[in-house]
Amino acid sequence: MQSQRIIQFLKDVAANNNRPWFQEHRPEYDAVRADFEDGISMAIARIAEFDSSISHVTVKDAVYRFYRDTRFSPDKSPYKRHLGAYINAHGKKALRGGYYIHLEPGNSLLACGNYWLPTNILTACRNEIMSDINRWLGIVESRKFINFFGKPGLGEWSDEGAAPKGFGLSVLATAPKGFPRDYEHVEYLKLKDYCCWKRVPDTFFDGDGWLDEMAKVFQVAKPMMDFVNAVIDDYE
């Protein structure tokens, strides 16, 4: 991808987030969008080499709209300030976890896992972690996992930006109802999602070499996602 061209266009959109400016610069958006979609097409093919479950996913399935839904937001700017794609075997709205690629000036990142779970499935995930804690710890406390994503609850990801790395978008202040507060590994039960991420420099996506670096990150995250997806699959 020509990531610097994409990043510069996103900066320009942030500074001129209105329809007249966008329409005037529509050819540039079309070129940037096409370049991003080409990159996502290559990313899907690369991920499919180690996760065949997503091999059927198309670029259209994965890439998010650039237009914001402003109906319930005080921010009425019509366009997003980033480009994103969620590569998920069951679709972008699935509970099942997937792989997320995000380009945004100063806040580009790779993420893996699920972003929201209803209480009954989250409870089932917590029970599964407790019942198979040694396998879980072998995944999320491995040197590579901690190096890429850190420990649960230490990083934040909000609309203002993401921490350099993180595991868990939202964390309870105490043990969830029905679970022991004195459990040795309660930090994993306090998570309200099982998403991990790693922020990358804006130059990360230059050329095609980023695909192998992306694969390294996602392959480390995949066993955690597989653990949780095995529980989710019983409900979807």
Which pLDDT band holds residue 159 (cuts at 50, 70, 90)?
low
Chain position carrying tokens 């679709």? 91
pLDDT higher than threshold 70 for residue 12: yes
CB atoms within 10 A of CB 234: 9
pLDDT of residue 125: 97
pLDDT of residue 158: 64
Alpha-carbon distance 193 to 175, whole Å? 14
Q: Which of 84, 83, 88 is nearest to 47 (CA)?
A: 88
Which pLDDT band holds residue 39 (cuts at 50, 70, 90)?
very high
Alpha-carbon distance 5 to 31, whole Å? 10
- pLDDT tens-place string over residues 168-212: 988 999 999 999 999 999 999 999 999 999 999 999 999 889 999
**pTM of the complete model:** 0.95
Residue 222: burial class (beta carbons within 10 Å; 0-12, 13-18, 19+): buried
Alpha-carbon distance 230 to 180, whole Å? 24
Q: What is the DSSP string of 76-130?
A: --SB-SSEEEEE-TT-TT-SS-EEEEEE-TT--EEEEE-S---HHHHHHHHHHHH
**CA-to-CA separations, 202 to 3, 12, 105, 161, 174, in angstroms, rounded:** 7, 15, 7, 14, 36
Residue pair 145/113 in contact (Cβ under 8 Å)? The answer is: no
pLDDT higher than threshold 80 for residue 162: no
Which pLDDT band holds residue 75 (cuts at 50, 70, 90)?
confident
- Phi first, then psi: give them for residue 112, nearest 5 degrees: -150, 140
Chain position carrying tokens 């198979």? 132
Can you tell me the mean pLDDT for 34-62?
Answer: 98
CB atoms within 10 A of CB 210: 21
DSSP bridge pairs for 110: 101, 198
Can you tell me the mean pLDDT for 86-111?
Answer: 96
Task: Look at 157 and 42; give whichever has higher pLDDT.
Answer: 42
Q: Which of 3, 33, 28 is nearest to 108 (CA)?
A: 3
pLDDT higher than threshold 70 for residue 61: yes
SS3 per residue for 140-151: HCCHHHHHHHCC
